Amino acid sequence: MTLLSTTPRPLIAGNWKMNGLSTALDEARAIAAGLDRRPAAARVAIFPPATLLHRLGEAVEGSFVLVGGQDCHGAASGAHTGDISAQMVADAGGTMVIVGHSERRTDHGETCQQVAGKAQAALAAGLEPIICVGESLEQRQAGEAVSFVIGQLRNSLPDSLAGQAFDVAYEPLWAIGTGHVASVENIVEMHAAIRTELVARFGEQGRATPILYGGSVKPENAREILAAPEVGGALVGGASLKAKDFLAIVEAA
């Protein structure tokens, strides 16, 4: 997917994680219906579990809702039981994919090198990757948050992203699913550092690459976070599971 726009609309991305049976498709339909009432100022995407990807795409077909995968393998196919490839995400109707989420890095020991391989595989399949980075509480308390995240970013972004549509999500580990949202000061500082790195690496393209914040984004705090400098959207976990909450976050963008 080649980069077309230099001023992308904010992206509000709902990561359902390992949540959602067939009945959850009703929430996706409600999100699509909520957006159909007026064109959204933001791009809106849902990342359901792989088991729902295809059906969710059908459920929201014709709406403003984009659909993506929560992960993909770095290889196009092969003996990797339980994994799915980027091509499979695309074949199931996805146009985007999250790679390097901290839960993948922690639960499955994914390295930056593997994450870069997944981002590359996503591009090869025509998907827009969202590449996640973020520091632990210990790293923040030790004053190493910015240097750690920038190092992680450097190693997780393949050179092949040049000229292609992609997004970065900054998600401090201590804010994910905890209700402890990062302060606007913390977010602004980190997003500015990420922007500097993106511009150094990708030039003009790096100025427009959306940098999403993720970590306990809720209807109550979304407006303040999304208005902060260099925040180009939100990656939303828990609050994306209910259409009412998710739509309120979209409304805040």
Least distance to ligand PEP from the beta carbon of 178, Å? 7
- How many whole angstroms separate alpha carbon 173 and alpha carbon 78? 32
- How many whole angstroms separate alpha carbon 80 and alpha carbon 35? 38
Q: Is 14 annotated as a binding residue?
A: no
Query: Two tokens at 111?
Result: 């390295």
Q: Is 63 annotated as a binding residue?
A: no
Least distance to ligand PEP from the beta carbon of 68, Å? 13
Closer residue to ligand PEP in complex, CB, 3/231: 231
Q: Is 17 annotated as a binding residue?
A: yes
Closer residue to ligand PEP in complex, CB, 122/176: 176
Cα 137 to its chain centre, rounded Å, is 21
Residues of this chain that interact with ligand PEP (CB under 6 A) are: 15, 17, 171, 176-177, 214-217, 235-239
Closest CA to 113 of 144, 81, 152: 152
Residue 50 main-chain phi, psi, to 5 deg: -55, -30
Least distance to ligand PEP from the beta carbon of 167, Å? 13
Q: Is 16 annotated as a binding residue?
A: yes
Q: Is 110 a catalytic residue?
A: no
Closer residue to ligand PEP in complex, CB, 3/24: 24
Angle in degrees, CA 10, 13, 16, rounded to 5: 170
Q: Catalytic: which of 103, 110, 128, 171?
A: 171
Q: Is 204 a catalytic residue?
A: no
Closer residue to ligand PEP in complex, CB, 126/219: 219
Least distance to ligand PEP from the beta carbon of 97, Å? 14
- How many whole angstroms separate alpha carbon 26 and alpha carbon 116? 34
Q: Is 203 annotated as a binding residue?
A: no
Q: Catalytic: which of 73, 101, 135, 197?
A: 101
Closer residue to ligand PEP in complex, CB, 3/187: 187
CB 226 within 8 A of CB 204: no
- How many whole angstroms separate alpha carbon 26 and alpha carbon 14? 15
Q: Which helix (H) or strand (E) holds 150?
A: helix 145-156
Q: Is 216 annotated as a binding residue?
A: yes
Contacts of 23 (CB under 8 A, 6+ apart): none
Strand partners, 129: 97
- How many whole angstroms separate alpha carbon 144 and alpha carbon 151? 11
Least distance to ligand PEP from the beta carbon of 205, Å? 24
Binding residues for substrate: 15-17, 177, 216, 237-238
Residues annotated catalytic, as ranges: 101, 171
